[in-house]
Chains A and B, each alone.
Chain A
């Protein structure tokens, strides 16, 4: 467990309906970071998050939240936006927010005041008196997000937060998450959207069938899965008949030359060789696979996952 971690999960196991949905999972989350929690459907993400929230108890292993076992004591410090979302259909939005705020430890008046302020900031000032049934889907999602952050939590757990969001609301949510991170909030975010995970997350935890497949900083994981390909644009680059010593293959498309490095060679070696050959390099980029591609490879059993497990 990292010192100062807000959440520390150690060798946790959980069996539901005869199936082991979480099998010895360990990870931690630090203040001011967004941990991307990735995995195929049924991988055990939601169950793990529910265990952190003390909605479900683990069969084995330990979970520490703010250094203690999960429980009521931390409810005021945790925000949660579940995947299955909803509001009371016949209750005004502000009343729902006030109630949920009081359950998170806020005084009723304070919860109401914050709810009205956040509704206004998110452009929902006029919707405060509308019931859940009267709100559009986008409004619903904003109100639910407000309910999760109303009490200014130190730990925010969001399960598939971008599901069903339009681009405008999706950007709004990303901005909120970045803002919370900047203020020191630890965020655990489950998502299927790899582009969002890559753009937002500091670290990634990929699980499959309750087991950890990948765990670490986004850059390190992408580096681990890099194929050793480098794309170069410039003038005077060596032709097909004269490969630089560190390159094994060369291909060219639309003016961009793509080199595949020999085993053991580094991109820096290739750059030096191109420079000494007299070529004028305008753009030199190491190619790293997108998280979506890494996700598929890791789940399929790519041995490179071992380095970042």
Chain B
């Protein structure tokens, strides 16, 4: 009946719209959605506060004022090390007292026999979040000054002095000769892995919303009134769509926040600015999120219907987490050989395919289209079968209040018997 089908779509839409709005307005959803971005923003703010007062923009040397009472001549080195000003004690004390400089260093007469150097801060100086970063930067400039002065005093040639003062520069190259920084290498694993983890987390959180919605309506006994208006299939479909949209909203906010975080981190973490997501990979990642959610969501809807209560539903659904997490556990292997038989097997299994392919796309080199094709076929087939079977189980068990349906009841429902 076409009218019935149209009516079913309309009802599914009404259920989807209502479940979406109800979920995104829930306190728990808002907390979960914005806790992550706020946490990242908090860390960024903290990092900015720490860095801003200490290190000049661009990471250059920090100006320091040094009073030299040592017998070692620091003047030559001070002329070379950027930012170093040599002065007398009275001038340093006066500039500190007026707040012109935050601190000054006294290299005492006994140095270098006595390794101690005195750092004096102004009386009005308050401890702030920038102190730690600033001291660290000042220390680096002071070390450079003193080492250079000692090497000059030792009569070493300038090249030897430079090798002593500056660490060796390690340059990493790929087999094709492309130069890659170590930080970029680390970031190229950590960031995609974090994104894959985020998506897998989002799939599970979203499936959890679905489970919660079904078990709640069953426990509240509202479901029978709803079922008298909306047949089981449109009801389940509407819930899957509405709560999937809520999960997608959450995942999108997380992903955008993470990308913003990466761009804001800028040059603080080497290599991050070099990561530019391929639009095709993003599209595939979004597809795997949707397909992964549908693959798990269909089962979660059935679990919500057949479980006597929320606790049982969570117990039943818990084992499914194994499938989602398994590829993450094996991520090192996936990163080292994204085309291994193990990875192909994980890509072929519907419940491990989404997180496997998310990892392969994130960590691998390029898009492995044959593997993508296999996983899409596997996932699509599973979703069709699981949704049809779940709809039958949903219909057969949703009204069994407080009772645990027998295996026979479930099998009969799956086989559409009775």
Contacts and interface: CB of A to CB of B under 8 A. Distances in A.
Genuine A/B complex: yes
Interface of A: 15-18, 50, 53-55, 59, 71-73, 75, 78, 80, 82, 84-89, 91, 96, 99-100, 102-104, 132, 144, 147-148
Interface centre among B3, B18, B225 (most CB of A within 10 A): B225
20 contacts: A16-B418, A17-B406, A18-B408, A55-B228, A71-B1, A71-B231, A72-B11, A73-B1, A75-B7, A80-B228, A84-B224, A86-B219, A86-B220, A88-B220, A88-B222, A100-B225, A100-B229, A103-B14, A103-B230, A132-B220
A72 B15 CA distance: 14
Interface in B1-21: 1, 3-4, 7-8, 11, 14-15, 18
Nearest to B231: A72
B221 A103 contact: no
Contact of A102 (B14, B222, B406): B14
Contact of A86 (B22, B222, B408): B222
A132 B7 CA distance: 29
Contacts of B1: 71, 73
A59 B417 CA distance: 10
Nearest to A68: B1
Contacts of B224: 55, 80, 82, 84
Given A72-B4, A80-B228, A91 B221 contact: no
A105 to B, nearest CB: 8
Interface of B: 1, 3-4, 7-8, 11, 14-15, 18, 22, 216-217, 219-222, 224-232, 399, 401, 406, 408-409, 418
A50 B399 CA distance: 10
B226 A15 contact: no
A305 to B, nearest CB: 30
A143 B407 CA distance: 37
Interface centre among A17, A82, A96, A103 (most CB of B within 10 A): A103
A29 B399 CA distance: 25
A174 B119 CA distance: 90
A225 B227 CA distance: 40
B229 to A, nearest CB: 4
A59 B418 contact: yes
A73 B220 contact: no
Nearest to A69: B1
The 7 closest A-B pairs by CB, nearest first: A86-B221, A103-B229, A86-B220, A80-B228, A72-B7, A82-B224, A84-B221
Given A53-B227, A75-B7, 14 more contacts: A53-B228, A72-B3, A73-B1, A75-B228, A80-B224, A80-B225, A80-B228, A87-B222, A89-B220, A91-B22, A100-B225, A102-B18, A103-B230, A104-B229
A54 B231 contact: yes
